[in-house]
Chain A
């Protein structure tokens, strides 16, 4: 009964220390690492990357880099239902691409070209998140800084079909009807198109507006998310005076996404329409739609983006068949309307990753992929296929397909026709068609 007397005091102590107890650091992160060999000799060759082009036939056995993200966040103030938090995320990695650039243990992860090549160089050692957030009593959040914003991905292809990351500010979680509204602006950069006409402007600038309506529930029929983005190049006078070879039209990006729970997992259907500076990222399995705005110039040969439109339809998800089988899948169809070309561009692909769980830690995963691209400017079709087999180990009872950390030993067989587009004849036709290796992937 002495407890009763102690209670008011205890309550007072708890209340006075509430601000302190809010100071827990949140630690999240990701990494992947490993090695691979080419059966024909030499090191592993990879056909996709998580950058401009995703892994079109699946990422299993197609990752030639070491990569890590470390994220630390802390709620620094909490009172009367309001809070302020700070968030950071740094990323490290060896260069990612077709060539395996993983070196020895002491290898630096910084880009050998430094930042001189453009706004993406040096990305393998970068400060990806540094932002602050003010959460109001109503749940509405005000944020500013540099952050990963509302990214949406297909994990098995490392495809970011929406990526609103960058330097910006916004208001999130504004309650409106059945769902919430999010508004953000961000300032994105592209290669300088003016030939260094303005000494103070190393890049071309495009501000973007990002509007989202999230969580429109349809009851048992799932839920809808709607996204609209707008961008227009904003060059300095000196840059504008020096060139007209860039896209100065307002680009629009529209995305509708439907999510529904299905067979112990989920299914998502994504429909996208992208114009002008968004069209290229929204075409085929091009990546990171929204974290940049392509105004042409530089390595794209002038204002080729002008008047472009692209459509993309993606269906992907994960389902379970009994206790033993998890099945991840992705199917995509995309079309490009390219002014000046007589034919339309068509790209489509399918990636399937079934997984069989042998026991509580070990599973076998198979990944099968096919991808085809018939672009307006190429007379021949590019196509590629893959079949990869991996033995994997992870604490499976906690999530099957999603269970990490995961250790894997893989063998991957590639085939297809490069049609002279990537200089891969020597690879996927005969020289680099079988890869073996081991990898670890973790997130927390």
Chain B
């Protein structure tokens, strides 16, 4: 019997040794990472000089930002940069980005989407990320769903953070409280801690090939699992459009931020496609619209002028917008 126990112990110990060998990159502590960030001179002046790695569809894994990355001085401050190239932008991408709570710290991501000429076409600030509490087998995380439809012109994606974000923190649910919830215990009354934001961290990327409904709008795991048995009912079929509507509704009041919610981008793009092709308008109607736009601008009724521009564009006018811009320039 003692021999059996010894054998078992040996087998388990060898298992330990094997797993001990499988070490992930060490993520430095915030203070150390801040020093390293300050000490690392920017790699380059132009975004085109960054080294880009390919973002393959179907990738689902962790990106370790451990302070060995190049730095870049953005308008939002210096940051380590993970730079990705989107190999086939015309096929459309849906990307779920989750920054994991790591040693009680968060990397608060800023996403920069660049077009083929390395110009920013979309900027997702850290504030656009949603804190998701640990649930099931998922830990605490900051989450954002980035949809890049074919029309977005996206060719590159930068994973960065900002100086402003580094000064902040995110409050997360104390694990003792999550344990209490899982075990139907009384809430332990322990205050929820704050995770300081760090220049480094661990980010999970899930690269899909199509539109992804933001997780905040998704149904619960069990429900979707049950649905896989029972099939969808009418309510399920309606759901995606509700998600779209909600996303747009959220995006609109937030006009102060440069963020454009993915669904809103998609909706605008779809509308553009559905409109009549530019230049297909009757000359008489086009002249009529242009006259009305000129008058509206002269009367300083910009709202009305804009509505006319849009109406004209939907009807196929190619000259309405340049005319509007010209007219506005004449205003003093």
Contacts and interface: CB of A to CB of B under 8 A. Distances in A.
A401 B24 CA distance: 20
Interface stretch (B12-20, B72-80, B280-288): B12-20
Contacts of B235: 17, 20
Nearest to A1: B310
A360 B179 CA distance: 20
B98 interface: no
Given A151-B184, A443-B183, A223 B189 contact: yes
A17 B238 contact: yes
Contact of B252 (A3, A28, A151): A3
Interface string A403-444: 101000101000000000000000000000000101000011
Contacts of B310: 1-2
Given A37-B5, A362-B16, A397-B202, A29 B182 contact: yes
Contact of A6 (B101, B181, B186, B267): B267
Contact of A443 (B16, B179, B190): B179
Interface in B175-200: 175-176, 178-179, 181-186, 188-191, 193
B242 interface: yes
A215 B221 CA distance: 32
Contacts of B20: 358-359, 362
Contacts of B245: 6, 9-11, 13-14
Contact of A397 (B19, B100, B178, B186): B100
Given A150-B186, A443-B183, A25 B139 contact: no
Contacts of A393: 19
Interface residues of A, number: 74
A70 to B, nearest CB: 11
Contacts of B268: 2-3
Contact of B220 (A2, A24, A129, A147): A24
Contacts of A2: 267-268, 271, 310
Grouping DSSP codes into helix (H, G, I), strand (E, B) and loop, the B interface class, with mixed when no group exceeds half, is helix
B184 A360 contact: no
A30 B182 contact: yes
A402 interface: yes
Nearest to A443: B182
A69 B219 CA distance: 23
Interface stretch (A101-109, A231-239, A259-267, A344-352): A259-267
Interface residues on B, range: 35 or more
Given A10-B245, A27-B136, A362-B20, A444 B182 contact: yes
Contacts of B174: 266
B24 A359 contact: yes
Nearest to A4: B252
A340 interface: no
Question: B8, B102, B184, B220 — which one has the most chain A CB atoms within 10 A of its CB?
Answer: B184
B189 A14 contact: no
A323 interface: yes
A393 B4 CA distance: 23
B137 A3 contact: no
A397 B102 contact: yes
Given A264-B193, A399-B178, 19 more contacts: A6-B245, A11-B245, A11-B249, A17-B235, A17-B238, A20-B235, A24-B220, A25-B222, A25-B223, A37-B5, A151-B183, A264-B104, A362-B16, A391-B16, A397-B101, A397-B139, A399-B134, A403-B175, A436-B5
Interface of A: 1-4, 6-7, 9-11, 13-14, 17, 20-21, 23-30, 37, 39-41, 69, 71-72, 89, 129, 147-148, 150-153, 155, 162, 214-215, 223, 225, 257, 259, 261, 264-266, 268, 318, 323, 358-362, 391, 393, 395, 397-403, 405, 409, 411, 436, 438, 443-444
8 contacts: A2-B310, A39-B2, A152-B185, A261-B193, A362-B16, A401-B175, A409-B15, A436-B8
